[in-house]
């Protein structure tokens, strides 16, 4: 068995930092508590029109993965079709990947409900804060970001997964001009009796013209009736099968994509993608990589 040299033994490991990345805890008027805003900015002059930008919900869980995916691919644009851009991730002042209580409020469409606490002796879980969260992004966060880096307002993308995917759809249905590209991964369309589908219907009633935007929906292979192999034969197999029939993530996302594909303009794009071998949580890195490829593809 080898031993470290005395020189290496004296070296103290240091925290890892991501080059080009910063964060700030900001208190917005449309929020009761601060949000942690993560930013990646390329270390080079911006294009004349400004940088394309990718906004991520669930920022703590998503930011580093998206930045790594961008750096690797933007370093070889001829082979990847991905160019540099800005990534902004909206998270919370925690070292955990999620703040379940706050994301339940921020990412769920109104009117919302009150649910029992996640854990004993913690607050009730409130939903329905999506309108305030969208206003925060549009009226407070975007102007602040534009003070940090020049942004191409015609190339703004919103990404969300799960509750974030639901929020992405809500934002699209209520403020379709806020972004030009929308990426909804494993959206919780079933949430609160699929109330989001009523919002979709109301939106479509008022928009008969072709939609000039890009919408990408996705889900993992094991978010439908097919269970992951490691769940088969377990004590929770039946419970998971019943849950899958309730959430119908693949089915609802694919159906929505098919409806919107009929409405897309000649320059619009609507797609659905099923990721092989992925479950609701493992799909996140795959979906983030696709988000980078969509949001930051080279300008033609």
The two structure tokens encoding residue 167 = 């929020």
CB 168 within 8 A of CB 182: yes
Helix axes 283-295, 59-74, angle to 10 degrees: 50
Query: Tokens 């490991």 appear where?
Result: 13
Q: Give how far Cα 234 sits from Cα of 228, 231, 237, 238, 241, Å.
A: 11, 6, 5, 9, 11
Rg (CA), the chain: 20
Neighbours of 269 (CB within 10 A): 15
Enzyme catalytic residues: 162, 223, 280
């Amino acid at each position: 068995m080898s031993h470290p040299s005395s020189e290496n033994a004296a070296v103290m490991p240091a925290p890892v930092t991501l080059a080009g990345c910063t964060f700030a805890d900001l208190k917005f008027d449309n929020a009761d508590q601060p949000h942690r805003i993560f930013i990646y900015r390329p270390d080079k002059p911006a294009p004349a029109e400004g940088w394309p930008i990718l906004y991520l919900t669930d920022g703590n869980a998503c930011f580093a993965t998206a930045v790594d995916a961008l750096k690797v691919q933007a370093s070889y644009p001829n082979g990847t079709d991905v160019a540099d851009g800005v990534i902004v991730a909206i998270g919370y002042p925690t070292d955990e990947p999620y703040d379940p209580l706050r994301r339940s409020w921020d990412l769920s469409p109104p009117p919302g409900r009150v649910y029992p606490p996640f854990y004993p002796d913690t607050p009730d879980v409130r939903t329905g804060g999506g309108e305030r969260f969208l206003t925060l992004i549009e009226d407070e966060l975007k102007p602040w970001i534009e003070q940090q880096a020049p942004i191409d307002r015609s190339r703004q993308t919103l990404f969300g997964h799960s509750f974030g995917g639901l929020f992405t759809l809500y934002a699209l249905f209520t403020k379709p001009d806020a972004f030009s590209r929308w990426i909804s991964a494993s959206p919780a369309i079933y949430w609160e009796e699929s109330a989001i589908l009523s919002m979709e219907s109301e939106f479509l009633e008022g928009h008969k013209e072709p939609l000039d935007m890009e919408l990408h929906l996705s889900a993992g292979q094991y978010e439908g009736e097919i269970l992951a192999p490691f769940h088969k034969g377990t004590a929770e197999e039946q419970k998971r099968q019943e849950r899958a029939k309730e959430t119908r993530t693949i089915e609802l996302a694919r159906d929505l994509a098919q409806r919107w594909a009929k409405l897309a303009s000649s320059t619009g794009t609507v797609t659905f993608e099923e990721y092989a071998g992925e479950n609701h949580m493992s799909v996140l890195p795959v979906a983030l990589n696709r988000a980078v490829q969509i949001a930051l593809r080279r300008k033609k």
